[in-house]
């Protein structure tokens, strides 16, 4: 008798658990993410992409989930490694859509991987809000893939603003006309160097040293030696993380200290400051944030608490913002309905509150307010140039490696 009661109780309990879990299954939003965990871009994705994605999911779940029409919905994150391989990125997106049947997907990491995955996102009908794609092809891409959105900015603007920083400094009488321009020999470096050269030359600067080096090169003593021999006022390097560190290292060793020292990707990483400490003071780099903005500071604190590492001072916040935008669009629609969310995003009158400040998209699905150039000042990488963002601080002359 007792045994039967026990059995019944167990059965009822099991049933109750089953009902409960099926009820909670309805208010669960599945979010798929494929980005590099291995391969050449894993280092960058580990700093910028994954921690920001995980932070957003954990924060949304901590406050009970997204508020939908029929109650809150928590988020389940499904992660795949795309091995920094475009083919794998496409396969992972397909698998997330068909096998895991995720409701939404996080855009991949880096310009190249986003461009590679754009067709499959479009074909499967997923909104694709990119936080790490910098390109100049927004108009064409938005035409071809109306589901693709851009938060981080445009390459030409980044290169132009870097040149304008030099123009400003020259007008202040702090630097002369001589510029050494180097770049990593891949699509990014070649494009950025090309734009820089034309903007600088049209502003009357003289390119006294120009060279490129192969991707993956970290033995850059000859490059720094060549740049130093040309005796420039400004040194601009469109570099990737490994070479950003190596160029800075060599510049310190050879005491090459022009009045402007600019390196591109990874200058805004906390690891840069950790590596070079006070020597990094005054180094210019790509990106930037409003480091004094309480929204960014709260984001940085939460980022450090969850991931044990701080955000970078550029694309981390943009990556986080892409998910804030997605979350706000889902809440506004009130259901995890991809088509409706996409329609909502495509309505350009909507604006989104993000860690970057308000974000809206123009007719090219492009966010027009972003940071372009930053500088290490007092241990913080502060934005010194931006389009449509408040809080840029004045740029300082680089005063050597001490």
Determine the distance from the C-alpha atom of residue 218 to the mean position of all C-alpha atoms in its chain, rounded to a whole number. Answer: 24
User: Is position 60 an interface residue for another protein (rule: CB under 8 A)?
Assistant: no
Q: How far is CA 294 from CA 289, 325, 327, in A?
A: 12, 19, 21
By the rule CB under 8 A, 47 interacts with another protein: yes
Number of H helices, E strands in the chain: 13, 15
Q: Which of 31, 66, 113, 223 binds another protein (CB under 8 A)?
A: 223
Residues between 95 and 154 that touch another protein (CB under 8 A): none
Nearest CB to another protein, comparing residues 87 and 254 = 254
Adjacent-strand bridge partners of 71: 68
| Min CB(132)–another protein separation in Å | 15
Give the C-alpha separation, 94 to 82, whole Å.
12
The residue ranges of DSSP E strands in 247-390, in sequence order, are 260-263, 284-286, 351-354, 357-360, 370-377, 380-387
Determine if 219 is a binding residue for another protein (CB under 8 A): yes
Residues with Cβ < 8 Å from 140, sequence gap 6 or more? none
Residue 276 as a binder of another protein (CB under 8 A): the answer is: yes
* Region near another protein per CB under 8 A, out of 90-98, 193-201, 215-223, 378-386: 215-223
Q: Is the dihedral of CA 261, 264, 270, 272 positive or negative?
A: negative
Interface stretch with another protein, choices 65-73, 275-283, 290-298, 355-363 (CB under 8 A): 275-283
Told to check if 257 binds another protein by CB under 8 A, we report no
For position 242 contacting another protein by CB under 8 A, the verdict is yes
> Exposed, middle or buried, 234 (CB in 10 Å: 0-12/13-18/19+)?
buried
Q: Which stretch binds another protein (CB under 8 A): 94-102, 249-257, 353-361, 383-391?
A: 249-257
Distance CA 80, CA 113 (A): 14
Q: Give 228 or 389: the residue with its C-beta nearer to another protein.
A: 228
Nearer to another protein, 138 or 244 (CB): 244
Listed ranges 9-17, 52-60, 206-214, 367-375: which one lies at the site for another protein (CB under 8 A)? 206-214
> Which residues of the chain form contacts with another protein (CB under 8 A)?
36-40, 42-43, 45-47, 84, 182, 185, 211-214, 216-223, 225-226, 241-242, 245-246, 249-250, 252-255, 266, 269, 271, 275-277, 309
């Amino acid at each position: 008798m007792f045994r039967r009661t026990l059995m019944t109780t167990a059965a009822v309990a099991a049933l109750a658990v089953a009902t409960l879990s099926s009820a909670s299954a309805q208010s669960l939003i599945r979010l798929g993410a494929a980005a590099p965990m291995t391969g050449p871009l894993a280092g960058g994705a580990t700093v910028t992409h994954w921690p920001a994605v995980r932070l957003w999911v954990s924060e949304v779940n901590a406050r009970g989930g997204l508020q939908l029409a029929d109650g809150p919905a928590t988020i389940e994150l499904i992660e795949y490694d795309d091995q920094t391989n475009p083919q794998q990125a496409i396969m992972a997106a397909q698998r997330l859509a068909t096998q895991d049947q995720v409701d939404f997907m996080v855009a991949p990491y880096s310009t190249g991987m986003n461009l590679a995955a754009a067709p499959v996102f479009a074909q499967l009908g997923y909104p694709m809000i990119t936080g790490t794609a910098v390109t100049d092809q927004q108009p064409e891409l938005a035409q071809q893939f109306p589901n693709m959105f851009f938060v981080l900015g445009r390459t030409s603007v980044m290169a132009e603003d870097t040149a304008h920083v030099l123009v400003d400094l020259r007008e202040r009488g702090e630097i002369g006309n001589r510029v050494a321009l180097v770049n990593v020999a891949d699509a990014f470096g070649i494009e950025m160097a090309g734009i820089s050269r034309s903007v600088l030359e049209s502003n009357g600067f003289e390119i006294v040293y120009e060279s490129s080096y192969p991707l993956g090169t970290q033995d850059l003593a000859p490059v720094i030696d060549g740049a130093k021999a040309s005796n420039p006022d400004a040194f601009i390097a469109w570099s990737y993380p490994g070479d950003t560190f190596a160029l800075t290292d060599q510049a310190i060793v050879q005491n090459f200290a022009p009045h402007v020292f600019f390196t591109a990707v990874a200058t805004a990483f906390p690891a840069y400051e950790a590596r070079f400490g006070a020597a990094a003071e005054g180094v210019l780099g790509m990106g930037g944030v409003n480091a004094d903005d309480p929204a960014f500071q709260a984001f940085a604190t939460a980022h450090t608490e969850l991931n044990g590492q701080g955000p970078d001072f550029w694309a981390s916040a943009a990556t986080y913002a892409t998910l804030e935008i997605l979350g706000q669009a889902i809440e506004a629609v009130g259901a995890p309905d991809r088509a409706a969310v996409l329609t909502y995003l495509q309505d350009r009158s909507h604006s989104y509150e993000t860690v970057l400040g308000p974000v809206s998209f123009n007719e090219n699905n492009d966010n027009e307010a972003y940071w372009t150039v930053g500088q290490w000042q007092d241990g913080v990488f502060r934005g010194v140039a931006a389009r449509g963002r408040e809080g840029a601080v004045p740029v300082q002359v680089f005063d050597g490696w001490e």
